[in-house]
Structure 1
C-alpha cells in the first residue's frame, strides 16, 4: 500500500512539472569507515555528506560485503555476491570478472532512455575488453579499471590505469579532483530533457594514503600522520560531493534527482595486524616469495602495504572482515521534495539498491534479483520488512548470516551469535544459549545460492600483489586487456 502510494505521488509529480524520469546519481566512497564522517561524531568534518543526511533518509543499518568487487557486483545486479561468484576483490590478473550474462543497472536504465555515465572506479573485471563498463551499458567511462591506483601517478600493480572510453590517458592531477571535474563537465553539457544516470565511484579514501598538502594541513590537530592524511582524502571527496550537488542545483534539476551515497565496505584501519582476516592470509598464501622479492616476510609486507587511516568505532574490526566494522557503512538516499529527513533503522543491503531504484522510477519490466525494493522502508522508518543476508571475508573461510536482530558468524573456530541491535560492538556471544537460532541461520547459509567461484586463489593474488601506486614496470592495463583478447 505504501509502495503504491509513493509511485502514485511520483507519477503525479513527473506529469505536473513536465519532468522526465528522475535523474539518478549514485556516489560510492571507497573504504570509508563508520567513524570517518562527522554525523557519526568523527573528528573529520564532512559538511556536504552531512547535508545529504540532514535532509534525506539516513540508512542507519545499511549493509554491504566487506570488500570492493563483491559490493559493486551486488549494486550493479541486485544479486548476492555469492550467487555471482564474486567473493573477493577482482585481481588485475583475474580472467573472470562479473559474468557477461548478467544484466546490470545501466542496461536497465537504457531501456528508459537514460544517458549513463561511470566516473572513477570500475573493479568488476578488465582482463579482456568485453568486461569494460562501456561494453556493459555505460555510454561513457572516465576512470580506472582495477581496484585502486596511486592518486598522483595513476599506477596499479606496475601498470598505468587511467582512461576515457577505452583510450588510455596520461594526465596530471589528483584522482578525486579529476573525477569531480569530469563529472561537473558532464552535468554542464547534459541536456536534461533526457534523464541521466551518474555513477560516481570515488577512489577515496582507499589506500595509498595520499592527499594534497594544503588539505592535509587542515587536519594538523590530528596527531597520527596516517589518520591525518586519511582525513584529507575524505575532505577532498566531501568537497567534490558538494560541488556535484551544487552543479545539479545550478541546472535546476535537483527536485528531479535521486541521490544515493554509501561506502562500498568498512574502513581499513591502522591496526591491520589485529584484524583476524589479515592474520589468516599468510596461512592461506602458503609459499609466496615476498622475502626475496621485497626483502621482508609476507606478514610484515602485508602490514606495511595494507594499513589505512580509517576508524569504524564503535563497530569492531573493518574492511575484509565480516564483523560490523567491515559491513555496516554510512549511507543515505536523498530526493529533495520527496523525502524529508528520517533515520531509517530498517535493514537494507546493497543488493536491495537496484530493485529500489527501479521501483522509484516506475520501471515496469520483470527483473531477476535477490534483493527487494525498499521503497516502503524509505517512506516508513519503522517498517520492519524481514530479509536475510550472507557475507564472507576476503579469504572465504568465515561467513556471516544476518536476519535481524541476529547475526551468526561461522568458521572453523566455532560459532558466534550476536544480537546486533542490542550489541553492535559484538561483545557478547550468545550462541550457546540460542542453539535453535544458530541452527536456523546455519540452514539459511546451507540454502543460500552459491555460483561458480570466479576469484583467483589468494595465493595467486599475492604472487603478483595488487599494489596501489609506485613504479611503472609493465604496459598499461587497458593495453594489456586488448593484448589478452588478441591472444585468446
Structure 2
C-alpha cells in the first residue's frame, strides 16, 4: 500500500487486528466477460451449461443483478464500491488515453489485505494499463494475466500492425508493490488457451491457500466472451453450433473445475463463491468480433433489449449467483435489484471488515449480506443509476425504468436524447418497447418525484465530492 493509503487506514489497524483472528470465509469471485443473461441453460440457453446450473441451485441466483455498460467501469465499481464516473473510469479507455485507478482509491483487495487475507488476480484486469497501475500495485499479492481489453489479442494479427507506434500487448506476472514482468506476447494464439491457463493457475492457488491458516480472496477474471472470439482446442466444434456455443461449453467447464477444486480442497463450507458477468453480450455486426478463420458468434441477452454499451436491460443485467453452504439457502432465486457497486461493501462484511470501508468518500454500494443470507427478503437497493461514459442515460427504480438518452446497440451510429424522458415497466415489458408516457398520457408523471430525488441526491454528492478525472493522481478530499 502506498503512503497516502496507509495514512488513511492507520487509525483502523488496531480494531482490524481483533477481527483477523476470527474465522473468516475464503472468497472467490469469478467474473465472465461480456456474458449475456441468456447464455446459461438455467436462464434459457439451448446450449447446456450443467456446471453453472448446478452451482446456481446450490445457493442464491440473482436475476436482476446490474452492472455497468462496459468492461472497465464494472471492474472499477467492483474494486471501489463507487460509481465509475467518480473514479474516472466511466468508459473503456482507448490505448494511449489516461486510465486506471488513482492510488488514493482504497481497493477491495487492499481492504481484504488489511483484514488478513491473501489476495490474487488471475485473468483480465483492464483498470489501468500502465505497469505502475497493474493489480499488484492496487492491493493484490499476486497477479497473472492481461492488463487491458481482450481485443488487444488481435492487434498483432492485423496487416497494418506496427510495433514502433503501438505497444505490443503482453501477459504479465507480478507480486505486490513490484513491477510485473512480461510472461509472453498476448496474441490470438495466447488467447486461445488463456482461460484454460487462468483456470489451472487459479486452481493451484486454491489448493495452496487451502493448506494455510490465512483466508484468501481469489478474483478469477475470464476473457471469454470478449472478442476476438476464440475457443480452446478441446472445445472446438464440441457444440456443433459455432464458436460462441463452443465457448459457452468451455466457460461452463472452467467454472466447474474451479468449483470442483474448492470442494476437493475441503474448504467449500467456509468459502463464499460469487459468479457474475461484467456486462451483457455485445450486439456486434455480423462476424466482426471473430478471430481469423472463424465463423459464427453472438450471445443471448435473454428477453432483454440492448446489449454491451447500451443502457437497456440487455447491457446491464448479467447472470449472477452466490454460494455459501449452510449459510445461504440452496435453490433460492430473487429478482430484487442488486448492483455491482454493492459487492465491495458486501464482501467486506462477509470478511468481518465493515470497519475498514472508507468514511472519507462517497461509497455508492450498499451492504447486501443480510439479503444474501436470507435474513431479509428485500434487497437494500431499490434503484440503479446508469451512466454511459460521462452522460446519465437512465435510472431504474423498482420495476420502472426511465431513459433520458439511448443508444440501441454496441456499435450504434447515433445517440438519441429524448425531448421527454421515456418510461417503461420492465417487469411486464422486458423489451422496453411500450413507452408509458407517450402511450398513456403522462399519468405516470408521479414517478419523476422518487427518480429525480435519486438524481438530485447524487448531484449534490458530486458537488461536495468532485469526480476524479481519468488518469488523475488524486490525493484526497479537503477535510474542511
- Structure 2 gaps of 5+ residues are 1-18, 159-165, 175-179, 406-416, 472-480
Tell me the distance in 2 between the aligned counterparts of 1:177 and 1:152: 18
Partner of residue 147, structure 1: 149
Distance 1:149 1:270, change over 3 A: closer
User: Quick check: 1:125–1:145 contact (8 Å CA) kept in 2?
Assistant: yes
C-alpha separation between the residues in 2 aligned to 1:183 and 1:217?
A: 26
Query: Where do residues 322-337 of structure 1 align in structure 2 (5 Å cutoff)?
Result: 322-337=311-326
Cα 1:364–1:313, aligned 2, differ >3 Å: closer, same or farther? closer
* 2:193 is the counterpart of 1:174: yes
CA–CA separation in structure 2 for the residues paired with 1:178 and 1:302? 22
Partner of 1:418: 424
Q: 1:76 to 1:126 in 2, by over 3 A?
A: same
Q: Encode CA deviations 1:376-418: one digit per residue, 9 max, x unaligned.
A: 222337325443321123x545511122122111022331111
Q: Indicate if the aligned counterparts of 1:117 and 1:138 stay in contact, CA closer than 8 A.
A: yes
Q: Could you tell me which of 395, 400, 423 is aligned with 1:401? A: 395
Once the 2 structures are TM-superposed, how far is the Cα of residue 85 of structure 1 from its aligned partner? 2.6
CA contact (8 A) 1:57 1:342 kept: yes
How far does residue 270 in structure 1 lie from its aligned partner after superposition? 4.2
Farther-moved stretch of structure 1 (173-182 vs 147-156) = 147-156
1:85-123 Cα deviation digits (max 9, x unpaired): 321113331223122211000111111221100000111
Number of aligned residue pairs: give it: 405
Contact 2:27 2:218 in 1 (8 A): yes
What is the alpha-carbon distance in structure 1 between the residues aligned to residue 173 and residue 127 of structure 2?
17
Q: Tell me, yes or no, if structure 1 residue 31 matches structure 2 residue 34.
A: yes
Equivalent residue, structure 1, for 2:168: 159
> Structure 1 44/152 Cα, relative in aligned 2: closer, same or farther at 3 Å?
farther
Are the equivalent residues in 2 in contact too, given 1:46–1:238 (CA < 8 A)?
Answer: yes
2:336 match: secondary structure: coil
Q: Distance in 2 between matches of 1:69 and 1:41?
A: 27
CA distance in 2 between counterparts of 1:180 and 1:113 reads 24
| Offset of residue 437 of structure 1 | 1.4
SS of the residue 1:169 aligns to: strand
Q: CA deviation at 1:268?
A: 0.9
2:236 pairs with 1:231: no
Aligned to 2:42, the other structure's residue is in SS state helix
CA RMSD of aligned residues (A): 2.9
Residues of 1 paired with 2:260 and 2:156: CA distance? 28
CA distance in 2, matches of 1:239, 1:179: 13
Equivalences for 1:88-487 in 2 at 5 Å? 88-127=91-130, 129-149=131-151, 159-165=168-174, 166-170=180-184, 174-190=193-209, 191-220=211-240, 222=241, 228-271=242-285, 309-340=298-329, 341-368=331-358, 369-380=363-374, 382-393=377-388, 396-397=390-391, 399-411=393-405, 412-414=417-419, 415-431=421-437, 432-438=442-448, 440-448=450-458, 449-450=461-462, 451-452=466-467, 454-455=469-470
* CA shift in 2, pair 1:247/1:151, >3 Å: farther
Instruction: Report the Cα distance in structure 2 between the residues aligned to 1:150 and 1:219, rounded to whole angstroms.
Output: 27
- Quick one: distance in 2 between partners of 1:359 and 1:202? 25
1:151–1:210 contact (8 Å) kept in structure 2: no
Q: 1:343 to 1:112 in 2, by over 3 A?
A: same
Deviation at 1:188, TM superposition (A): 2.4
Alignment match, 1:461:
none
Q: 1:155 to 1:400 in 2, by over 3 A?
A: farther
* Gapped regions of structure 1 (runs ≥ 5): 1-13, 223-227, 273-299, 457-488
> Does the aligned pair in 2 maintain the 1:269–1:308 contact within 8 Å?
no
TM-score by length of 2: 0.78
Cα offset, 1:439, TM superposition: 5.0
User: Any idea what the Cα deviations from partners look like across 1:3-56, whole Å, max 9, x if unmatched?
Assistant: xxxxxxxxxxx99xx983110000000001011111111012211111110111
* 2:236 match: secondary structure: helix
Instruction: Please say if residues 270 and 310 of structure 1, whose CA atoms lie closer than 8 Å, have aligned partners that are also in contact.
Output: no
What's the secondary structure of 1:217's corresponding residue?
coil
Contact 1:59 1:330 survives alignment (8 Å): yes
